[in-house]
């Protein structure tokens, strides 16, 4: 049979062509001398040859053998033996050194004696070359029976990561507000937003069981570590765990020698399905057949996560700015804030329908966005509209009732008259200036009034040499007319007269009555 080889450093000796070469000293050998021996156990055979004890390899099959292949008499011996295909025996790594070798082939024993004892020798070919029955190695002195002992210890650690789940929900108490021009209605409105920060709980992942397995030689002799097994038992099912022992190879042809006091440490790391319950144990086996395990299985215990993601998050708002931080330990939370809209913030040049976008953003570790929510408000800002009016230079009404059209009496140059729009509103002045036999009428509008451009012939004038008739005038038939824009307009060359009807199409900006 073939087993792993326990390799131990020792002084080498080599028998070549019947001669023994030893390092560091030479040895005297009577090579291949036949000897009469009564077959028995190793101790009995060696004692017949004049030695104190021995070990026996009870086979002659070509191959390489270690002490675990020998007859077990309890002697603490280490050796590697090779029987070649042509029946030549050699050995090496002997501890203690060998004093003699007995080879039985057929009915004959041959003996090789080594003085002093050697740790290695070769070229031992029995008289009957083939048919080797067994090989016995003999030693002088008291046999070493120091016990082999290994202590196996291990650590079991756990690791996992925890991610915290969050979301944000935003609401507003008013989704639609109106801002009136001051004096025509409420010109401000206050809106309140509520932002709910919702904690969805933790999610754990990346569960791993890891640790070390340590084998220490606590005995009195070198041990050949043949096998080291780490077993993880989860839900009652044992699984062998791969070990990383660095440069030490426990899967190769050679066993690992551990001298007294020497240790071997290996590591392991195994992904598992969640925070499972179970235990872990390790077993070491030696070439001598010894089996050593941890005193008791080590339980798997899950503690706090090694890494937590988004345990704290931060809330900000596109309008309100930073709104604070929130911790998973505190669960759900909310924050409210107000904003007051004013008509003056928009003004007449920016009136109309507006949308006030307002986005809440929740970020976690590394400023990574977790969630957003927008709650817009429709803001309606009242506009000014142009309201047209009929205007006259203020004087005497053409008719006492009904139509309020008026004419003025001109007595001296220059004479300025107030302009009334819509019968009662002051809209500016009209000034008549004499230029020989004609006059010039100059209109200057004020108080926000302008000519109603686009209607054509905004200024119409009719002269009268005597008191105008008491009838409704027809401004469209007035003799003097022109199209005006802005706030100033002039007509010249009008015949000098005592009375003038001065009609204007004007307008001004007023709050939109349809708002």
> Can you give 107-147 as a three-state secondary structure string?
CEEEEEEEEEEECCEEEECCCCCCCEEEEEEEECCCCCCCC
Residues of the chain falling short of pLDDT 50: 1-29
Q: Residue 23 — φ and ψ, nearest 5°?
A: -125, 125
Q: Which residues touch 287 (CB under 8 Å, ≥6 apart)?
A: 3, 4, 6, 66, 67, 68, 223, 224, 226, 255
Question: Is 221 domain-assigned?
Answer: no
Question: Is 172 domain-assigned?
Answer: no
Instruction: Tell me which residue of 199, 195, 176, 189 sits closest to 321, measured CA to CA.
Output: 195
Q: What's the confidence (pLDDT) of residue 5?
A: 35
* pTM for the whole structure: 0.61
- Calpha distance 434→155 (Å, rounded): 118
- Calpha distance 203→387 (Å, rounded): 66
**Does residue 451 contact residue 506 with C-beta atoms inside 8 Å?**
yes
Q: Residue 328 — φ and ψ, nearest 5°?
A: -60, -35
Domain count, the chain: 3
Q: What's the confidence (pLDDT) of residue 220?
A: 79
Same domain flag for 63 and 21 = yes
Q: What's the confidence (pLDDT) of residue 287?
A: 79
Domain end among 348, 364, 383? 383
Q: What's the confidence (pLDDT) of residue 68?
A: 77
Domain end among 351, 383, 415? 383
Q: What's the confidence (pLDDT) of residue 148?
A: 83
Q: What's the confidence (pLDDT) of residue 29?
A: 46
- Calpha distance 95→108 (Å, rounded): 27
Same domain flag for 134 and 61 = yes
* Share in percent of the chain as helix, strand, coil (round to 5): 5, 55, 40
Question: Is 238 domain-assigned?
Answer: no
- Calpha distance 150→4 (Å, rounded): 18
- Calpha distance 176→199 (Å, rounded): 30
Beta pairing partners, 167: 198
Same domain flag for 409 and 338 = no
Same domain flag for 343 and 440 = no
pLDDT digits (tens, 9 = 90+) for 417-426: 999 999 999 9
Host domain of residue 478 = 387-511
Same domain flag for 370 and 436 = no
Domain end among 85, 119, 139? 139
Please identify which residue in the block is written with the tokens 């049979």.
Answer: 1
Same domain flag for 22 and 104 = yes
Same domain flag for 445 and 466 = yes
Distance between first and last Cα of the chain? 106
Q: What's the confidence (pLDDT) of residue 78?
A: 87
- Calpha distance 38→402 (Å, rounded): 162
Same domain flag for 428 and 364 = no
Same domain flag for 377 and 394 = no
């Amino acid at each position: 049979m073939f087993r792993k080889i326990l390799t131990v450093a020792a002084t080498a000796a080599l028998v070549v062509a019947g001669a023994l070469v030893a390092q560091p000293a030479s040895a005297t050998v009577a090579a291949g001398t036949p000897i009469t021996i009564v077959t028995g156990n190793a101790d009995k055979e060696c004692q017949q040859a004049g030695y104190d004890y021995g070990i026996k390899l009870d086979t002659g099959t070509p191959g390489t053998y270690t002490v675990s292949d020998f007859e077990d008499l309890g002697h603490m011996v280490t050796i590697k033996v090779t029987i070649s295909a042509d029946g030549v025996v050699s050995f090496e790594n002997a501890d203690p050194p060998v004093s003699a070798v007995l080879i039985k082939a057929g009915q004959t024993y041959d003996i090789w004696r080594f003085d002093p004892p050697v740790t290695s020798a070769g070229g031992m070919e029995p008289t009957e070359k083939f048919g080797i029955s067994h090989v016995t190695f003999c030693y002088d002195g008291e046999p070493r029976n120091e016990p082999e002992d290994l202590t196996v210890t291990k650590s079991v650690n756990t690791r996992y990561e925890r991610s915290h789940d969050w979301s944000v929900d935003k609401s507003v108490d008013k989704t639609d507000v109106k801002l009136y021009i001051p004096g025509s209605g409420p010109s401000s409105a206050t809106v309140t937003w509520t932002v709910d920060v919702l904690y969805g709980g933790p999610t754990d992942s990346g569960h791993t069981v890891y640790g070390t397995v340590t084998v220490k030689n606590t005995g009195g002799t070198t041990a050949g570590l043949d096998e080291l097994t780490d077993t993880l038992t989860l839900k009652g099912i044992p699984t062998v765990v791969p070990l990383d022992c660095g440069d030490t190879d426990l899967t190769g042809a050679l066993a690992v020698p551990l001298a007294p006091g020497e240790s071997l440490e290996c590591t392991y790391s195994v992904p598992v399905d969640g925070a499972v319950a179970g235990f872990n144990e390790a077993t070491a086996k030696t070439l001598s057949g010894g089996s050593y395990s941890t005193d008791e299985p080590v339980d798997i215990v899950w503690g706090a996560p090694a890494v937590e993601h988004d345990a704290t998050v931060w809330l900000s708002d596109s309008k309100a700015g930073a709104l604070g931080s929130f911790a998973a330990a505190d669960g759900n939370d909310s924050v409210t804030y107000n904003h007051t809209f004013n008509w003056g913030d928009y003004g007449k040049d920016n009136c109309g329908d507006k949308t006030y976008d307002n986005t809440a953003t929740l970020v976690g570790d590394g400023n990574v966005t977790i969630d957003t929510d927008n709650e817009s408000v429709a803001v309606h800002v009242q506009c000014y509209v142009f309201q047209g009016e009929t205007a006259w230079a203020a004087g005497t009404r053409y008719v006492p009732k009904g139509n309020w059209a008026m004419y003025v009496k001109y007595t001296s140059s220059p004479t300025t008259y107030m302009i009334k729009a819509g019968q009662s509103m002051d809209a500016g002045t009209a000034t008549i200036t004499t230029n020989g036999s004609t006059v010039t009428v100059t209109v200057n509008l004020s108080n926000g009034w302008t000519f109603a451009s686009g209607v054509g012939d905004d200024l119409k004038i009719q002269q009268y040499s005597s008191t105008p008739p008491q009838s409704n005038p027809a401004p469209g038939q007035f003799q003097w007319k022109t199209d005006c824009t802005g706030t100033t307009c002039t007509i010249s060359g009008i015949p000098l007269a005592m009375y003038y009807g001065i009609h204007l199409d004007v307008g001004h900006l007023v709050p939109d009555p349809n708002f």
